[in-house]
Structure formats: structure tokens, C-alpha cells
Amino acid sequence: MQQLENILEFYREIGATFLEKREPTIVRRDSPPESGTARRMVPQQPPNPNKELEAVHQEIYRCTRCELHQSNTNYVPGEGSIQPGIMFIGEGPGEEEDKLGRPFVGKAGQLLDRIIEKMGYKREDVFIGNIVKCRPPGNRDPHRTEVEACLPYLKRQVEILKPRIIVCLGRVALNNLLDGDYPITKVRGQVFEYHGIPVIPTFHPSYILHQQTQEKVSKAKWDVWHDMMKVLELIKKV
């Protein structure tokens, strides 16, 4: 009931006057000590109760596989439930995330928290990760070589966590996870598959924040919410 109230409140907020019902389209795809320690300003996150995941995170904290470790303040392995129904995957840490060593804690993160709450979950109920675990300078897209170096960590996280659904936040998350070249505006809300796990892409929260007019903000929010409704429908079936 609380979840239904949240959904209706969200619709009211964006000025929606009707509800649309569509079936999901299924698209299948088969799918050494480091130099950063001295610069680290906050301690690593507390040990994860899942030992396998903790081992991956400890590897990340020592990673020198690409140049991003030279400019980071903190590594951002990801955080959340160790039995997540939903795993959200973003692009890479921004300034705030780099400062705190935690994913999605800046403005985009606050918006993501709100989306998660409106879906009827708490942030701790889901897992939030990124394609790359170190901040690309100036928030640029991660380079191919950086993604290639870092992606195995995410793949191991997915393998260990076994989320029931993956939500890719934006083009960079989607195309790097699925090794594709999909235009996010065209494919958002569709159901893809990664190793048997349904993947639903949607806009990155920053995309909503960067819209220039209130009308465009509402449209982008509506689209994201539409996609999250698909997630909520699908999670009942998987």
C-alpha cells in the first residue's frame, strides 16, 4: 500500500493525468601495492559481510590496473545489500563519490535515492555499483582501456550478488555491460539480458538534472519512472 501511495505521489508530482500500460519488450543477448593509499582521505568502507565480495573490494582498493588510480582520492567499489533484488549500475564516481569512497552520494545520488524510495525500497535494499571504480578526471566518460581494466570487477560483483534485475543508469553503463552500442533514448525501458539476468536501461539521474526547462525535467522524470515501473512489474516475475 505504501508503495502504491509513493507511486501515485510521484505521478502527482510530475503532473501526470493518465497511466499507460505496456508490456516489456525482451531483447536477449548472450551473453601490487598501489600509490593511491597515501592520498586517501577517508578510511575504506567497513568490511563487507559477504567474504567473496569483500575479497573483490579489497582487490579494488589496491588496484593499479589503469591510470585512474593515480588521480583518485578514494576507490569506490560500490555498496548495498548482499542479496539485492535490484542492482543499479552507474558510470563512474564523480567528485563527491571520490571524496567519500561511496557511490551516488552527490546530487545525482540524492535523486537516485528518491527514485529508489518511490519504488518502495530503501537504498540499503539494493546494490549500487559503477562501471569504473575510480573517478575519471573532470567527470569525463571513462576511456576504453579504463573500462577494460575495471569491468572484470563489476562482472565478479554481479556473479557474487546475483541480483534479480540490473538497472543500467545511462548509455555508458548499458553499452559497457552489454558490449553494445545502443542509443539510450531509443532503448531505455526495454529488457535486455546479461548472463540470464534481465537488464533494464534508463536515463542516468544526471540527465534529469541537466535538462534546461521544467517541462523537459518532467518528461525525463516521467520516462525514468515509466522504466522503473517496468522494473517493479518484472521483479514480481523473476
User: Does residue 108 belong to the site contacting ligand URA (CB under 6 A)?
Assistant: yes
User: Does residue 92 belong to the site contacting ligand URA (CB under 6 A)?
Assistant: yes
Q: Least CB distance from residue 219 to ligand URA, whole Å?
A: 21
Q: Which residue's Cβ has the minimum distance to ligand URA? A: 90
Q: Sheet containing 192-194: give its strands across.
A: 79-80, 127-130, 86-90, 165-169, 197-202, 192-194
C-alpha cell at 29: 543477448
User: Does residue 90 belong to the site contacting ligand URA (CB under 6 A)?
Assistant: yes
Which of 91, 98, 146, 227 lies at the binding interface for ligand URA (CB under 6 A)?
91
Residue located via cell numbers 579504463: 146
Count the helix, strand and coil residues of the chain and give each as a percent rounded to the nearest 5.
Answer: 45, 10, 40
String of contacts with ligand URA for each residue 120-149, x by CB under 6 A: ----------x-------------------
- Could you tell me which of 105, 95, 96, 109 has the C-alpha nearest to residue 139? 95
Q: Least CB distance from residue 100 to ligand URA, whole Å?
A: 10
End-to-end CA distance of the chain: 21
Which of 77, 94, 189, 198 lies at the binding interface for ligand URA (CB under 6 A)?
94
Binding site for ligand URA (CB under 6 A): 90-94, 97, 103-104, 108-109, 130
